[in-house]
Each structure stands twice: as C-alpha cells, then as structure tokens.
C-alpha cells in the first residue's frame, strides 16, 4: 500500500472511531440520568481503574499501555462532562468549565 491507501485506511478507521465514541457518549448520558435519580457520584475512581485495566488487558500494541491510558483518561474526562450535563442544570454547568473547555469553545 502507498501513502494514499494508508490515509484512506486511517480515514475509515476515524469514521468508525467517531461512531464508537458517539455510542459511548450515549451510554454515558444514560448513566448520567441513572446517577441523577440514584444520587450516585459522577466521579467513580474504582470504575475508572477497572476501565484502565480492561483496555490494557486487551491492548496488543503497538500503542504502549501508558499512551492508551492517557487517551482513555481524556475520553473518560469528556464522558464525565456529558454525565454532568445530565445531572447539573445548564446554568450551573457553565460555571464549572475547565481551562481546556474554555479553550475549545
């Protein structure tokens, strides 16, 4: 394969990743709704530790576990924000923007 073929392959992988991330975000929204009704906390370090263990266990490289964990830290940060939107009224959520959030807006 030449560089054009590899780039087409990456474009297709990116499309699938977006679909999967959107599916994960929908699941996070539903969990946020459940947490709202059960008063569970948004941040659950034990659950996040389990997610890290799960992704490292199935990782076959070439991405090092450390880098995979960094990616998942960011994914879960975004998913926590989605859950906050389900739990926190919009006016309060605007007050809790992080520095990274305000840079992205």
What total of structural domains would you count in the chain?
Answer: 1
83 in any annotated domain: yes
Instruction: Print the domain residue range for 47.
Output: 11-91
101 in any annotated domain: no
The string of pLDDT tens digits covering residues 79-88 is 999 998 887 7
80 in any annotated domain: yes
| Crossing angle of the two packed helices 65-87 and 3-38, in degrees rounded to 10 | 40
56 in any annotated domain: yes
pLDDT at 90 over 90: no
The string of pLDDT tens digits covering residues 56-82 is 999 999 999 999 999 999 999 999 999
Q: Which two tokens stand for residue 31?
A: 């969990």
Q: How far apart are CA 86 and CA 90, in angstroms?
A: 9
4 in any annotated domain: no
pLDDT at 95 over 90: no
103 in any annotated domain: no
Write the CATH number for 66: 1.20.59.10
Q: Is 43 exposed, middle or buried (0-12, 13-18, 19+ CB in 10 A)?
A: exposed
CB crowding 13-37: b at 16 or more within 10 Å, else e: eeeeeeeeeeeebeebeebbeebee
The string of pLDDT tens digits covering residues 1-46 is 999 999 999 999 999 999 999 999 999 999 999 988 898 898 999 9
Number of neighbours of residue 83 by Cβ within 10 angstroms: 23
- Are 21 and 77 contacting, i.e. CB atoms less than 8 angstroms apart? no
6 in any annotated domain: no
pLDDT at 89 over 70: no
100 in any annotated domain: no
């Amino acid at each position: 394969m030449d560089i054009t073929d590899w780039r087409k392959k990456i474009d297709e992988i990116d499309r699938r990743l977006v679909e999967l991330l959107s599916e994960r975000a929908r699941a996070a929204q539903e969990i946020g709704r459940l947490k709202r009704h059960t008063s569970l906390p948004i941040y659950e370090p034990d659950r996040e530790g389990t997610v890290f263990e799960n992704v490292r266990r199935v990782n076959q490289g070439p991405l090092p576990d450390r880098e995979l964990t960094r990616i998942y830290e960011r994914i879960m940060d975004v998913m926590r924000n989605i859950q906050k939107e389900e739990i926190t009224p919009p006016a309060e959520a605007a007050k809790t923007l992080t520095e990274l959030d305000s840079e992205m807006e």
